[in-house]
């Protein structure tokens, strides 16, 4: 893969990440349409029966409903070949239903790691590990 393509992948990743931090479901959805393959393979716990880009849009709809002020801080980005690895810290305030829990008003901080594979300049595959245990513990669903 060329250095230009790698730079392009990083720019695409940044664009997607910037969109997620707008807190605007419309902007996120539109950006997903532009930078993510419609049939993206999504290897992460998704709370829906959807697949591909539709599943990714639904994940963000659920997160924004639960945590309207959700913010993802990228701590590390490692690039190798056609993949980008991102280690993130996520913060938000629980103001809407999430995984069956009514809003608690609690602020949460949790970590996640994603590996994103690119094909033809678009996101083609995503693997994610999200610290859901920490989320649930902070929301009071699991005893501390």
CATH number for the domain including 31? Answer: 3.10.450.50
> Total domain count for the chain?
1
Residue 126 pLDDT greater than 80, yes or no? yes
Residue 59's domain comprises 3-138
The CA distance from 112 to 128, in Å, is: 7
The pLDDT of residue 93 is: 98
Provide the percentage of residues in the chain whose pLDDT is more than 90: 84
User: Residues 80-89: what's their mean pLDDT?
Assistant: 96
CA neighbor of 95 nearest in space, from 137, 63, 71? 63
Q: Is residue 101 part of a domain?
A: yes
pLDDT at site 46: 66
pTM over cut 0.85 = yes
Chain segment 26-63, per-residue pLDDT in tens: 999 999 999 999 999 988 766 667 889 999 999 999 99
Mean pLDDT across the stretch 1-29? Answer: 89
Instruction: Assess if residue 143 is contained within a domain.
Output: no
- Are the beta carbons of 35 and 122 closer than 8 angstroms? yes
Cα separation, 66 vs 86, in Å, equals 23
């Amino acid at each position: 893969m060329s250095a230009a393509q790698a730079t392009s992948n990083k720019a695409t990743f940044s664009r997607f990440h910037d969109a997620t931090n707008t807190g605007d479901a419309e902007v996120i959805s539109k950006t997903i349409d532009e930078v993510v393959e419609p049939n993206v393979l999504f290897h992460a716990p998704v709370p829906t029966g959807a697949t591909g880009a539709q599943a990714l849009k639904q994940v963000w709809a659920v997160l924004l409903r639960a945590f309207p002020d959700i913010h993802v801080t990228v701590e590390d980005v490692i690039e190798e070949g056609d993949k980008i690895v991102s280690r993130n810290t996520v913060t938000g305030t629980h103001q809407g239903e999430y995984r069956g829990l009514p809003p608690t008003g609690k602020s949460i901080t949790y970590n996640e790691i994603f590996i994103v594979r690119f094909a033809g300049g678009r996101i083609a595959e995503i693997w994610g590990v999200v610290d859901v245990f920490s989320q649930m513990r902070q929301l009071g669903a699991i005893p501390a």
